[in-house]
Structure 1
Amino acid sequence: MKKAGSEGEQRTRTKTGDDENMEELSRELKACLSESRACVVATIVDVDGSAYRREGARCLIHVDGEVTGILSGGCIEEDLREHAQEVLRTLEPRKLFYDFRIGEDEVWGIGLGCNGAITVWLEPFDPVRSPHAADRILGDLRRRVETREPYVVATVIGSSDPAAVPPGARRTLAAAAEEAGLLGAGRRAGLVRLPEGSTQLELLLERVAPRPELVIVGVGDDARLLCSLARRLQWRVTVAYHATDKATRERFPAADELRVIPRYAFEQVDVKGKYVVVMSHNLDLDREAVHRMLTPEVAYLGLVGSRYRLEKILEPNSNGGGSDGSIDPQLLAKLYSPVGLDIGAETPEEIAMSILAEMTAVKNGRSGGFLRDRKAAGSGARTPTATPSQSSFLDEPIFPESCRV
């Protein structure tokens, strides 16, 4: 077994990318499918204690040893490469256990000190020898990227009857399982054991949420930076503005949608459940955007500018676009201005980063403080097992065997 940082790893550098996510993995798998290239999908299915990534994190291990994504910061990737070669040879998935809770110098000899244990599941993706399974894996990731509604997916990790329910099968989860709280409060993913008829299954359950959605009001260079950064962080981005020579696809290639609307017609933009950043730098436009888009349905509205400018914008307006009412005081809790976390941002890049950090904190229900000041939380329940009354929480497979992406 090679150690991390060995000569073998130096020859094949790990490809992580700045935006490692489901979207990138989906693109990479689609390329593997079109080019008839095999790889292995490595997924963290269980974590006990602290670890670099949590349950549901994935990476791809290619035939040449290159890795797309990251699971451990390089601690186990070299060992995963060796196991991946065997998985590709046999087309049989396997589960690996890494325990870093022993003495620092006893793991790979490099002093990891992670103080946790992780279980990784390796699944073969071979569009030539196993095309139906490859379609299933790719379809699963594509649905995660494209969904606009939350759902729960169950991946079969282990089965007492592989002929009846093979490892790798993907299923939707019935509502009863959610009510049973199999994942536990606050957990997004984890292992559970459930019976399906006479077959005992070990499942990775994952709550899949839609990509968060951002609406940018503005077409300046700072809006372009925010759009690009948000897109790299998997946000779905809409740029909404009236017709100008700057409101073009060429200037906003990263945007999922470019909405050209009549001047001041911000009520035409859907903001339900979305995050809005107003940055037109025009007082009248910004005022109208705030007055029309700060609704009970919006998740967050950030406004670029000073506190003095905010006061002017909050004044009832009888000029320009026609929004002359005052804002409901109860909605002000959704208004963030000056926008962004206080990180001393000065450059446009830093400002965009502070805005995205604040939106992420709001989305995740966090304050945005220092992690060192956060009290440690308990690890929670471990691997729940179904009671006899929970005979089956599995519906039909998400992707039939014949599904072709």
Structure 2
Amino acid sequence: MKEIKSIVNAYHSHSERAALATVVRVEGSSYRRTGARMLVFETGVWVGGISGGCLEGDALKRAKMAILKDSPSLVTYDTTTDDDHQIGVGLGCNGIIDVLFVPIDKTDSHNPIKLLEDTLHFPEQNHILITITKAPENAKNLLGKIFRYNKAPDLKPLSGYSDLETLAKSIENLEKSKNLFFENGLNVYVELVPKPIKVYIFGNQYDLYPLADLVLSLGWDLFIVSEKSKIKEQLKSHVLEDFKPEMLDKNSAILLMSHSLNTDKANLKSTLPLNLPYIGMLGPRVRAEKIWHELEQEGAEVNTQNIFAPVGLDIGATTPDEIALSIVSEIKMVFANRSGEHLRNRPLPIHDREQPMIFK
């Protein structure tokens, strides 16, 4: 989401023509995955990225060509071959990356940047963007078309290629972005743009500031539950004085760090019934157990499965900045459904391998 924000901001701050480069398919290994983007202006200024830096040079040329020709194109980078003429050869990534280059028409209210901007205006919901990455000879004008999906009628651009009701059900059941291949030569990238993680910090002590900075640097949404007068000026806009538990959802992580046992206990009690995926409690385990025990004596049902106390991963953190790093890493681990172990001990690839869906 942070990259989308940067691209949208750059789009509005530059007047020259531009093209959007998007990774729409990855086979094997790559530094970035599908959905990675870079916005390139005709002056050569660019924002975002599609790789670790190895493909950006060629991507700049391809984007400028898309602007010049005012025509989209799909480029395949193959780092698995020994062809010296192939961009990216010798990198050792051993992957195939399809990148779609689409010139941006600023007069089009539904251009790709505008669609991305819409996802920022409605952060409380997930979004589905559909991009046509390959079109048959008799429908070349479809290449590069991007539209947002909400319900079956939105798939009208794909009519004639598949039964739209069946296709709609398949899209709605997807749990992550996926490529759809149609036997008649049409390829579609269905991108799920998730809601950003929302972090609620209950507290107003000095140790919230490095944590808040790190949360914001990741592009997550930050809410500080406190009296505004107790928070420094740079974070006052994130203060939530009228907090209500019903504001929380399955995309929320809460951190109880008021340094007051009774305050943390009250806040935990109000949020326990919501069964949130992540509740972090600052302080030693014995403190957390005392709170749990008191709540149980008062009749509350305490399920500690989703309570992380002491909060954070075991990285030897001692300073507020290091503790913030351990907390944010743990939040990411939970929401990504990962173990937090060393990647070198992971028997599977770092990223899940995508299997495209084939439609008749």
TM range (shorter): 0.7 to 0.9
> CA separation of 1:110/1:374 partners in 2, compared to 1, >3 Å: closer, same or farther?
same
Look up the match of 2:279: 301
Other-structure match for 2:58: 79
Counterpart check, 1:140 vs 2:121? no
Does 1:225 pair with 2:185? no
Corresponding residue for residue 249 of structure 2: 272
| Match for residue 359 of structure 2 among 378, 386, 393 | 386
Aligned equivalents of 1:176 and 1:246: distance in 2?
Answer: 54
Task: Give deviations 1:209-247, integer Å, cap 9, x for gaps.
Answer: 111211110122221222221122121121112x36314
Unaligned runs of 5+ in 2: 153-164
Equivalent-residue separation in structure 2 for 1:253 and 1:86 (angstroms): 45
**Partners of 1:100 and 1:85 in 2: CA distance:** 23
For residues 103-159 of structure 1, what are the alpha-carbon distances to aligned partners after superposition, in whole Å with 9 as ceiling and x for unaligned? 4977558731111110111111242xxx216x4222211122333122322112233
Partner of 1:350: 322
Contact 1:37–1:126 (CA under 8 A) maintained in structure 2: no
Aligned partner (choices 239, 242, 245) of residue 229 of structure 2: 245
User: Does structure 2 retain, via aligned residues, the 8 Å contact 1:314–1:326?
Assistant: no
1:111 and 2:90 matched: yes
Q: Secondary structure at the match of 1:349?
A: helix
Match of 1:155?
131
Measure the CA separation in 1 of the matches of 2:299 and 2:178.
Answer: 47
Q: Distance in 2 between matches of 1:110 and 1:163?
A: 30
Distance 1:151-1:217 versus aligned 2 partners, 3 A rule: same
The change in CA–CA distance for 1:101 and 1:166 in structure 2 (over 3 A counts) is: closer
Report the alpha carbon displacement of residue 254 of structure 1 after superposing the two structures with TM: 6.6
- State whether structure 2 residue 224 is matched by structure 1 residue 259: no
In structure 2, C-alpha distance between the alignment counterparts of 1:158 and 1:110, rounded to whole Å: 24
Match of 1:206 among 188, 191, 200: 191
CA distance in 2, matches of 1:165, 1:68: 26
SS at match of 1:234: coil
Is 1:190 paired with 2:175? Answer: no
Give the equivalent residue in structure 1 for 2:265: 287
How many residue pairs end up in the alignment? 343
- What is the distance in 2 between the residues matched to 1:382 and 1:366? 20
The residue matched to 2:16 in structure 1 has which SS? coil
The higher-RCO structure (CA 8 Å, 6+ apart) is 1
The aligned residue for residue 345 of structure 2 is: 373
Q: Which residue matches 1:177?
A: 167
Compute the displacement of 1:97 (Å).
Answer: 0.8
Conserved 8 A contact 1:48-1:379: no
Q: How big is the shift at 1:163?
A: 7.6
- Counterpart residue identity of residue 7, structure 2: L
TM-score, normalisation: structure 2? 0.85
The corresponding residue for 1:52 is 31
Q: Report if aligned partners of 1:225, 1:348 keep a CA contact under 8 Å in 2.
A: yes
Partner SS state of residue 313, structure 2: coil
The Cα shift of 1:380 comes to: 4.9
SS in 2 for 1:48: strand
Q: 1:325 aligns with which of 298, 319, 326?
A: 298
Find the aligned partners of 1:237 and 1:381 in 2 and give their Cα distance: 32
- CA offsets, 1:20-45, max 9 Å, x none? 5111112112223xxx2222211011
Partner of 1:94: 73
- Give the 3 Å change call, closer, same or farther, for CA 163–79 of structure 1 in structure 2: closer
Contact 2:204 2:258 in 1 (8 A): yes
Paired residue secondary structure (1:83)? helix
- Aligned letter for 1:246? K
Find the aligned partners of 1:350 and 1:104 in 2 and give their Cα distance. Answer: 45
How far did 1:253 drift? 5.2
1:320-379 CA deviation, whole Å, 9 max, x = no partner?
A: xxx9724414x2111101101111112211111111111111111111111111112596
Seen in structure 2, the aligned counterparts of structure 1 residues 164 and 96 have a Cα distance that, compared at 3 Å, is closer
Higher helix proportion: 2
Distance in 2 between residues matched to 1:67 and 1:139, nearest whole Å = 18
* Counterpart contact for 2:80–2:96, Cα < 8 Å: yes
1-structure distance, mates of 2:85, 2:146: 36
Which secondary structure does the structure 2 equivalent of 1:123 belong to?
strand
Q: Is 1:360 matched with 2:332?
A: yes
